[in-house]
Amino acid sequence: MHPQRDLKDISKKIGRLPTLPGVAMKILQAMGRDTPDIREISEIISLDAPLSAKVLKMVNSSFYGLSNKITSVHQAMVYLGLNTVKNLALSFSLLRTFEHKNKSSFDYVQFSKDSLVGAIAAKLIAEKTNRQHGENAFFLGLLQNIGMPIMSESMPAQYEEVIKKTKSNAASLHEIESQLLGLNHMEVGEYVTHAWGLPANLTVPIGVHHIPGRLASVLDDIKSLSGDIESLTKTLHLSSLYINLFNGSDTKANYADIEKYVQAYELNSVINNSATVKEITEGIKSIFPIFEIKIDEKKYIDIIETARYESEKLSSDLLNQLHNQSECLNQLTQQVCLDGMTQLYNHKSFLEILHLEISRATRYKTPLSIIIADVDHFKSVNDFFGHQAGDHALKCVSSHLKELLRDSDHIARYGGEEFGIILPMTPLKEAIQAAERLRKSIESEKIVYREKSISVTMSFGIALLENNRQIDVEGLIKMADEALYDAKNTGRNRCCHYKLQNPEKTLASTVLVIDDEEVVLVTVTKMLERLGYTVLAAKSGREAADLLHQKGIKIDMVIMDMVMPDTSPDQILKDIRDIHSETKVVLTSGYNLSNGGNENLLKKTNGFLQKPYQLAELSRIVKATLNN
């Protein structure tokens, strides 16, 4: 932070502090609450139609690469997270403040271009070096030079002189600003963002991003944040060099500057400069049109070609380093296949390996078994001992399971506290024995975290690929899942194997899901289909009524949200009882029903399911309701 004397000096020189746009103030106020409300923040953004349109265009662009189209701000938050969408909205609302101003020689269009290039570069760099800073880096990259338009508006005549001298002087902009005005845009940017209430880990990097060597003297006062600030400062510094590359006249010199600092920061194993230039160019193609900014295709092609040419001209010493980078990249390729925390195969790799093993077992008619295992009551470990202890426990369980398996077996972190194990050349009897051995070993294992002993148990579901049945990856996993649910529902800490039911009893029950939230509707539908049910979906009371009145459809069960915008729950229940008198009905809600007022409604149904849904709980309630 600036000393108090410097703050007063900056305030005196720039005059009245620029105010935040109203929507930005509301977002920051909402984020300042102990528990930020996603719906409140999504509504704030949605009420600003131009802003929400830009946010939705951005999240649907190739820059984020989502497979499904996002149609609302709330849905964007569900898919990308609150922090990502919040930062996009703040970034665009602040950038909009400085659009279409031509009162001076300051080039606001070029400033917008540079800001977006800086944001794209910062996000890409952070994703390669420290993924958790990705969205903060985008926000910072966009705001890194916000001091420039503020100085241009606060002291227009003096800043005109700065711009003139910059065009005829080899010195950098911030050096000329300090020489002529006694302060520079980094200091102003840090001061203004601090005054707006942004945290130190965001404001401090803005204050030193052109001269990161000054950071050490600042960190003495904020040691608790030093790691985040140092990482973000390096990211912001590199992004500013990429701005120079895309805006400057001396492409070769600017490219060399980036190479120098990538190596100085020891990031050459994860940042390929030439590839990053291409990625930034692709980001520009995706994002500039959102802001109606023209793309200079020829200029960017020339930059890419220069980057490629300079890469090929690297010295023999650098070529040796590139050889080392190649080895590191091979390691990174392996890491893409691994779960970051447990170092087991990740979910994607598990599916790929299982596909290969099924093909091999089918071709050679050899046995293949899989196990889906889950740590029992893992939430209690997190709640009682803390999330760090929970992470430690998962690492220990992962390591222990891997040690007990054969070299030919494959183990993956399937998701959360769930593990997938592939046992090639293993018949069902041996797979059950292997699962039981794992279960007993985990049960007896004592995990110690900070002198505290943690005991966990696991449930195991085993399934065999039978030679006379055509089963794909999803089908085999589903069989193991069902066995795991049996283990969970019969007491946990046990092993169960999939038992093929009598075909006469395997006719899938039909479940109608009624919910006006599309994300919930899709999620529950997929869950139920995974459990083997036939699913009908309705996102309104009117759609539900149409399905209920269709002839030839037997609906065994209805899962219905208690609050529908177009029809009362009593009316839907009446339609169900009039047309499908034997149909079971379970109500759902995200609210706790202990407040009362719902007793009469609940008495007319067969049960209640609290949102958000857990797959195991959904399976248990649906099975119990249908069998009751």
User: Angle at which helices 82-97 and 73-80 pack, to 10 degrees?
Assistant: 130
Residues 471 and 562 in one domain: no
Distances in whole angstroms, Cα of residue 588 to Cα of each of 141, 543, 545: 43, 18, 18
**Looking at 294, 326, 358, which one is the last position of a domain?**
326
Q: Are 490 and 573 members of one domain? A: no
Cis peptide before 612 (omega within 30 of 0): yes
Between residues 105 and 572, which one has the greater pLDDT? Answer: 572
Give 439-455 pLDDT, tens digit per residue. Answer: 999 999 999 998 899 99
Query: 162 and 273 share a domain?
Result: yes
Range with the largest mean pLDDT of 1-5, 295-299, 514-518, 549-553: 514-518
516 and 486, same structural domain? no
What was the pLDDT predicted at 316?
46
Q: Are residues 113 and 248 in the same domain?
A: yes
Task: Identify whether 77 is part of a domain.
Answer: no
Distance between CA 400 and CA 445 in Å, rounded? 9
229 and 220 Cβ atoms separated by less than 8 Å:
no
State the average pLDDT over residues 82-106: 75
> How far is it, in rounded angstroms, from Cα 381 to Cα 388?
10
**By C-alpha distance, which of 293, 326, 167, 299 is closest to 245?**
299
- Looking at the fold, whether 512 and 485 belong to one and the same domain comes out as no
Q: Which segment of 260-269, 289-298, 324-333, 470-479 scores lowest on mean pLDDT?
A: 324-333
Ranges 41-50, 285-294, 491-500: which has the least confidence: 285-294
SS3 36: coil
Report pLDDT for 2. Answer: 44
Report if residue 52 sits inside a domain.
no
Q: pLDDT for 93-104, tens place per residue? A: 877 776 655 556
pLDDT above 60 for 320: no
3-state helix, strand, coil in the chain (%, to 5): 60, 10, 30
pLDDT in tens, 162-201: 988 888 777 889 999 989 988 899 999 898 888 888 888 8
Calpha distance 401→371 (Å, rounded): 12
CA distance 555 to 511: 6
Residue 545: predicted pLDDT? 87
User: Does some domain include residue 9?
Assistant: no
Q: What is the CATH number of the domain that holds 449?
A: 3.30.70.270
- Domain endpoint, select from 467, 497, 527: 497
The answer to whether residues 154 and 268 belong to one domain is yes
Which pLDDT does position 100 carry in this prediction?
52
Q: How many CB atoms lie within 10 A of CB 74?
A: 18
pLDDT of residue 306: 65
**Hey, how many other C-beta atoms are within 10 angstroms of the C-beta on 563?**
12
pLDDT for residue 226: 65
Q: What distance separates the 2 farthest-apart alpha carbons in the chain?
A: 88
Side-chain half-sphere exposure of 93, counting CA atoms within 13 A: 24
| Residues 378, 492 share a domain | yes
| Whether residue 222 has pLDDT greater than 60 | no
Chain centroid to Cα 526, Å, comes to 21
CA separation for the pair 297, 474 (Å, rounded): 45
Q: Is the pLDDT of residue 1 over 50?
A: no
| Residue 196 sits in the same domain as residue 312 | yes
Contacts of 521 (CB under 8 A, 6+ apart): 513, 515, 537, 539
- At 351, the pLDDT band (50, 70, 90 cuts) reads very high
Give the range of the structural domain holding residue 596, as residue numbers without chain letter: 505-627
Percent of the chain scoring above 90 in pLDDT: 26
Evaluate whether residue 18 is within a structural domain: no
State yes or no: pLDDT of 417 exceeds 80: yes
In terms of domains, do 287 and 227 share one? Answer: yes
Alpha-helical regions (H) of 130-250: 134-143, 147-154, 156-167, 173-181, 185-195, 200-208, 215-219, 226-247
Same domain, 295 and 351: no
Q: Is residue 5 part of a domain?
A: no
Does the pLDDT value for residue 223 go beyond 70? Answer: no
